[in-house]
Chains A and B, each alone.
Chain A
Amino acid sequence: MKTASPFLEIGADAGPCVDVTFEGAPLRLTEGANLAAALLAAGVEVFRHTKTTGAPRAAFCMMGACFDCLVEIDGVVRQACMVEASQGLRINRPHEAEAHDDPA
């Protein structure tokens, strides 16, 4: 997946790596990297689909404001740009209902 990415990661081989999965596919990411950035660099192009029209979306603002980077991490819907990559994360595109789940 790495070579197909429209993004290039400079100094990527510096530092330890962690193993995660995205939609079941294994990915090696730099430990502690911003998860949204690391997913983009790993070639992930679609983070989620909108609940209204099913249109594809990916990280847009990288600062926690737009919520287009929502993914489901170990069952919880979170903003990928506000999370660091750590060992064993199971990342999936959120299910439609959960993409909109803000309980409070």
Chain B
Amino acid sequence: MIRRDLVIIGAGPAGMAAAVRAADLRLSVSILDEQLRAGGQIYRDVDRAAALRGDILGKDYAHGATLTAGLRRDAIDHLPGAVVWAIEEGFRISYSQDGQGAQIAASHVLLATGALERPMPLPGWTLPGVMTAGAGQILLKQSGVLARNAALVGSGPLLYLIAAQMIRAGTPPAAMVETQGRGDIISAMRHLGGALRGWPYLLKGMMMLAEITRARVPRFTGAQGVAIEGDTKAEAVTFTSAGRSRRIVCDTVFLHHGVVPNTQAARSLGVGHSWSRAQKCFVPAVDEWGQSDIPGVFIAGDGAGIGGAKAAEHAGGLAALKIAEELGRLDPSGCMEQATPLRAALTRERAPRAFLDTAYPPCAEALAPGDSTIVCRCEEITAGDIRRYASLGCLGPNQAKAFGRAGMGPCQGRFCGLTVSALLADANGRTPDETGHFRIRPPLKPVTLGELAAMDAVAQDEAT
């Protein structure tokens, strides 16, 4: 088995920046990534797409190419299309690539697995034609595929970005159905100082809003009672806004109300997580270097708490520095010296966070869906089912598995975990921390017998 100083999981901004920094410090590095080309979701396929669609996607996207370029050196072993399904103490990482199972060993592991869309269970959200806004962005970035007639539903800057990109591409959205209200902006004002320190973001947001207004895309704010109608596919979005009922006819619905850390790999390793009231999600316990409560396991980027792509890049660098220090390749003073500018940049990037989180809170109806709304997409379990489990004495998500199959489908709770925890916490009058989250066990992604057999054959070859 190949052994590295550092194995990084995920080739987004955090993973790529960490790989480059670690290689500079002469660590042996492998970076495993599920996607066939580096970039993560934010810079998905940037090496191919920036040249084709850079004008639509903008400068921030093109920046990703500077990071992917850093991976192209002999000192970094980039394994594209590598789906990690187990990480065991020690560390031994099992993954599949090209239909073959394989393993790699490491003294340190950096989880740079990024974010997932916050689950947004609304009536009709499982219909074909309903996708996450992130999926809409991925379609455009990677494939140049645009929705001809889409409604954007939810809250947050990503909705404005995708709207602006759709306008530039000549397919403006049918409407923006925004769930944040005036009150949210007013409460966000107490974080205005941070927002002003992060003024470039504020400016970009205002420019995108101006683009949307110029293109005459209808915007409805404070939307309530949001539902997606349709029999076998999405046909319309219905809601009330400013006291009037509305119905927007559309073929595609892009949902978004923020992103949350993808904690599957960290949880499978037993890293401690706690509820963040500011971000309304569970975040792993890490220190200022991204070091978790398990020696040798680091987490950087959105997977450690949402901060965005630039923050992820700096955090990846910081993790690599500390790992190099632990491995004796960097003395403590050198580590501190290199860390100082990264830390300053990270603080700058995080400055507007509190303002944004308050101005664009998650959609309340999707955090506490109605009884008939499906929350577990895989097993088609409704919010009412979960509340019924609570009335029968179910206190936590793992116990819920004794009552029904919530979280036991192929997505392993990625799109229902937070909702199930929230529903149980609410029904039982307990905190999210007391309620907890699904226990995550390997395989993190389904692995086939063929892939296991191929891995066995390699292991036997090595033994002989």
A in complex with B: yes
A residues in contact (CB < 8 Å) with B: 6-12, 14, 33-34, 37-38, 40-41, 45-47, 50, 52-53, 55-68, 70, 76, 82, 84, 100, 102-104
Greatest chain A CB density within 10 A among B53, B144, B147, B149 is at B144
The residues of A that contact B145 with a CB separation of less than 8 Å are 7-10, 37, 40-41
Which residues of B sit under 8 angstroms from A65, Cβ to Cβ? 116, 262, 411, 414-415
Add 9 more A-B contacts to A50-B380, A59-B131, A103-B448 (CB < 8 A): A6-B148, A8-B148, A37-B145, A41-B145, A45-B232, A52-B379, A58-B129, A103-B446, A104-B447
Contacts of B251 in A (CB 8 A): 6
Which residues from chain A contact B252 at a C-beta distance below 8 Å?
6-7
How many angstroms from the CA of A13 to the CA of B226 in the assembled complex?
Answer: 38
B residues apposed to A, CB below 8 Å:
34, 36, 41, 52-53, 83, 85, 116-117, 126-132, 134-135, 138-139, 142-149, 169, 171, 232-233, 251-252, 262, 377-380, 409-411, 414-415, 443, 445-449, 452
Cα distance A54–B87 in the bound complex, in angstroms: 35
Given A7-B147, A82-B34, A102-B410, answer yes or no on A56-B233 (Cβ-Cβ < 8 Å). Answer: yes
Kindly list chain B residues whose C-beta atoms are within 8 Å of the C-beta of A62. Answer: 131-132, 134-135, 138-139
Sorted nearest first, the 8 A-B pairs with minimum C-beta distance are A6-B251, A58-B128, A37-B143, A102-B446, A62-B135, A67-B410, A62-B138, A10-B144
CB contact between B142 and one of A37, A55, A104 (< 8 Å): that residue: A37
A46 contacts B143, C-beta separation under 8 Å: no
Please give me the residue from chain B that is nearest to A50 by CB atom.
B380
What is the interface of chain B mostly: helix, strand, loop, or mixed? loop
Contacts of B169 in A (CB 8 A): 10
Instruction: Tell me whether A84 and B377 are in contact in the complex, defined as CB-CB below 8 angstroms, given that A7-B145, A104-B452 are known contacts.
Output: no
Once the chains bind, are B135 and A63 in contact (CB under 8 Å)? yes
Query: By the criterion CB–CB under 8 Å, are A67 and B171 in contact?
Result: no
Q: Which listed residue, A8, A37, A55, touches B126 by the CB 8 Å rule?
A: A55
Q: What is the bound-complex CA distance between A25 and B251, given in angstroms?
A: 23
Least CB distance, A71 to chain B, in whole angstroms: 13
A-B contact pairs, 11 of them (CB 8 A): A8-B148, A34-B143, A47-B128, A52-B379, A55-B380, A56-B127, A57-B128, A58-B128, A62-B139, A63-B116, A104-B85
With A82-B34, A84-B36 known to touch, is A61 a contact of B132 (CB < 8 Å)?
yes
Q: Name the A residues within 8 Å of B36 (CB-CB).
A: 84
| Given known contacts A6-B251, A45-B233, A34 and B452 CB-to-CB distance under 8 angstroms | no
Q: Contacts of A64 on B, CB cut-off 8 Å?
A: 34, 83, 445
Q: Does B143 lie within 8 Å of A56, measured CB to CB?
A: no
**Chain A contacts for B127, CB-based, 8 A:** 56
Residues in chain A near residue B85, CB distance under 8 A: 104
Shortest A100–chain B CB gap in Å is 7
Is the pair B146, A76 in contact by a Cβ cutoff of 8 Å?
Answer: no
Q: Are A63 and B138 in contact (CB under 8 A)?
A: yes
Alpha-carbon separation in the docked complex, A11 to B377 (Å): 34
Separation of A14 and B143 alpha carbons in the complex (Å): 12
Shortest CB-to-CB span from A45 to chain B, Å, is 5
